[in-house]
C-alpha cells in the first residue's frame, strides 16, 4: 500500500495541468484503476484479510482523491493568478465619461410655451392625433371644397369596411382640441393645446409631422385687443425682449375677423434676429372665433365670444435657438441633439437667429 501511495502522490505532485491530473485519477481510482482493481479483489480474501486490506485501501483511495482535489485547486489558483497579471485593472483610475441624454429643443420650447401661458391663466388641453372629419374640418367651418381637405395636403386613414362615415384623418392642426374642450367644459374657457400635427409637405421649413400650439379664450367681453395683448406678452416673454407685432388682415374659415401676425426682426449675415431692426416676419395666425365654430361646439355665440391662435412650436424654436433646418428636428442625429439639446437643469438663453 505504501508503494502505491508514494507512486500516485508523487504523480499528482508533478502533474502540470488538469489533463495530467485526469490521467493520474483514471490510473489510480478510475473504474479500471490500480486501486479500484485491488478493491475488487477483497471478495476473494478471507474475512481476516479483508479486515486488514479493506480499511487500508479505502484510506488510500480517500487520500489519493484528496490529493487530486488539492492539486486541481492549486492549478486553478495558479492559472487565475497568471490571468490577473495579464488582465489587471487599476481601480484607482477615473471612470470613462458617461454621456448624458439631452432634452430635445421641441420638448424644451413646449415647456417654455406652457409655462408662459400658465402665467396668463391658460390651462393645457389635449386631444387625439387621429381625428374624425367632423372635428378636424366640419366643426371648424372648413367647407368641403377647401384645399386643406384635398388628399395632396391631408393624410386620410382607411375607412372600416362597410362604413359610410368619412375616413378619419391625421389631424392637420390642434384646432379640433378647442371644439372638444368647449364641448366638455363650455364657456368661459382659456386653454392652449400643444401637440403633433400632420400635413403632406416636406422641405427646409416644412415636414409631414410638426408641432403646433393652439390657443383659445372664450368669455363675455373678449376682443381683438385682448388677443393682441396676449400674443405680445407671450412673444416678449418667449424671446426675452419686448417684441413689436404687426397684425395683417387675413382669412381663416374658423375665425372672423382673421389676422396674420408679424414680428419685428432684422436680417444680418443670412440670419434673422427677432425683436430688432426694421423688417417683419410672419409668425402665426389668429382671429376671433367664428360664430359657426362656437355653435358647433355647443356655445351660444350671443352669450360668448373669444379669440383663437395657432403657433408652430418648431418655427419659434428655430427662431429662438438659431436652428436653420426644420428637418433636423426629426433626424435623431445624436451630434445635433448634443449641440442643440438642453440638460435637465439648463436655463434657456438666446443663441442667435434663423439662417435665411
For 337, how many CA atoms within 13 A lie in the half-sphere containing its CB?
Answer: 14
Residue 214 annotated as binding site: no
Residue 332, SS3? coil
Distance CA 231, CA 263 (A): 10
Q: Is the CA virtual torsion 246, 247, 252, 255 positive or negative?
A: positive
Nearest to 131, CA basis, from 93, 72, 175, 81: 175
Identify whether the C-beta of residue 199 lies closer than 8 Å to the C-beta of residue 154: yes
Distance CA 294, CA 307 (A): 11
Identify whether the C-beta of residue 289 lies closer than 8 Å to the C-beta of residue 259: no
Instruction: Please give the grid coordinates belonging to residue 173.
Output: 392642426
Instruction: Please give the grid coordinates belonging to residue 60.
Output: 488510500
Residue 257, SS3? strand
Identify whether the C-beta of residue 257 lies closer than 8 Å to the C-beta of residue 286: no
Distance CA 261, CA 281 (A): 8
Instruction: Please give the grid coordinates belonging to residue 215.
Output: 390657443
**Any idea how long the chain is?**
356
Query: CB 347: neighbour CB atoms within 10 A?
Result: 5
Distance CA 248, CA 116 (A): 24
Distance CA 173, CA 296 (A): 17
Identify whether the C-beta of residue 147 lies closer than 8 Å to the C-beta of residue 199: no
Distance CA 53, CA 38 (A): 9
Distance CA 35, CA 308 (A): 99
Binding residues for Mg(2+) are 256
Binding residues are 256
Amino acid at each position: 500500500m505504501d508503494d502505491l501511495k508514494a507512486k500516485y502522490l508523487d504523480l499528482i505532485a508533478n502533474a502540470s495541468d488538469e489533463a495530467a491530473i485526469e490521467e493520474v485519477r483514471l490510473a489510480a481510482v478510475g473504474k479500471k484503476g490500480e486501486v479500484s482493481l485491488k478493491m475488487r479483489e477483497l471478495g476473494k480474501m478471507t474475512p481476516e484479510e479483508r479486515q486488514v486490506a479493506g480499511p487500508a485501501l479505502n484510506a488510500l483511495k480517500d487520500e489519493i482523491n484528496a490529493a487530486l482535489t488539492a492539486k486541481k485547486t492549486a492549478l486553478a489558483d495558479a492559472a487565475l493568478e497568471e490571468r490577473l497579471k495579464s488582465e489587471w485593472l487599476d481601480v484607482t483610475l477615473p471612470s470613462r465619461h458617461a454621456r448624458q441624454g439631452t432634452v430635445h429643443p421641441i420638448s424644451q420650447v413646449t415647456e417654455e410655451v406652457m409655462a408662459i401661458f400658465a402665467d396668463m391663466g391658460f390651462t393645457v388641453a389635449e386631444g387625439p392625433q387621429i381625428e374624425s372629419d367632423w372635428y378636424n374640418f366640419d366643426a371648424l367651418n372648413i367647407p368641403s371644397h377647401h384645399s386643406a381637405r384635398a388628399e395632396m395636403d391631408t393624410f386620410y386613414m382607411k375607412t372600416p369596411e362597410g362604413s359610410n362615415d368619412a375616413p378619419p384623418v391625421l389631424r392637420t392642426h390642434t384646432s379640433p382640441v378647442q371644439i372638444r374642450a368647449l364641448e366638455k367644459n363650455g364657456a368661459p374657457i382659456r386653454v392652449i393645446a400643444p401637440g403633433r400635427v400632420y400635413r403632406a409637405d416636406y422641405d427646409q421649413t416644412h415636414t409631414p409631422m410638426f408641432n403646433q400650439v393652439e390657443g383659445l379664450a372664450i368669455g363675455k367681453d373678449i376682443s381683438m385687443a385682448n388677443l393682441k395683448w396676449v400674443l405680445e406678452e407671450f412673444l416678449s416673454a418667449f424671446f426675452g425682449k419686448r417684441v413689436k407685432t404687426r397684425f395683417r388682415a387675413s382669412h381663416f374659415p374658423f375665425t372672423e375677423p382673421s389676422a396674420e401676425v408679424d414680428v419685428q426682426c432684422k436680417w444680418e449675415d443670412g440670419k434673422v434676429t427677432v425683436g430688432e431692426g426694421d423688417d417683419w416676419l410672419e409668425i402665426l395666425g389668429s382671429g376671433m372665433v367664428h360664430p359657426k365654430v362656437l355653435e358647433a361646439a355647443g356655445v351660444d355665440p350671443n352669450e360668448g365670444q373669444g379669440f383663437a391662435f395657432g403657433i408652430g412650436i418648431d418655427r419659434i424654436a428655430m427662431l429662438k435657438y438659431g436652428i436653420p433646418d426644420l428637418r433636423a428636428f426629426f433626424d435623431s442625429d445624436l451630434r445635433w441633439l448634443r449641440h442643440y439639446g438642453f440638460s435637465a437643469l439648463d436655463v434657456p438663453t438666446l443663441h442667435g437667429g434663423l439662417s435665411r
